[in-house]
Amino acid sequence: MTYLAELTAVHYLFGGAGLLSVLAFGALILAPTMGSFGRGWEKAAAAFLSLFVLVALLALGFGVGVVIVYYWDDISQLF
């Protein structure tokens, strides 16, 4: 119970943004992909490829974020 007491507005905002992103992915990318194919293996392959692209984009974003945090002192001197 003490963990829930430590949640701030920032935690709720990031959680809401993550939930909204997952819902948008499901509604705008995954659902039309699943509806475009008729056979079960085609739907499974399309869902796998869609999720693979999602994971790749998340990994790319995480990697760019780590690089920015690691080199922030050098980056901030450019501005």
Contact 29, 15 (CB under 8 A): no
pLDDT digits (tens, 9 = 90+) for 18-66: 999 999 999 999 899 888 888 999 999 999 999 999 899 999 999 999 9
Q: Distance (Å, rounded) from C-alpha 13 to C-alpha 33?
A: 29
| Residue-number span of the structural domain to which 12 is assigned | 2-76
Q: Distance (Å, rounded) from C-alpha 55 to C-alpha 51?
A: 6
**Residue 1's pLDDT is what?**
57
* Residue 12 pLDDT > 70: yes
- Coil, helix or strand at residue 45: helix
**Residue 79's pLDDT is what?**
82
Q: Distance (Å, rounded) from C-alpha 70 to C-alpha 7?
A: 26
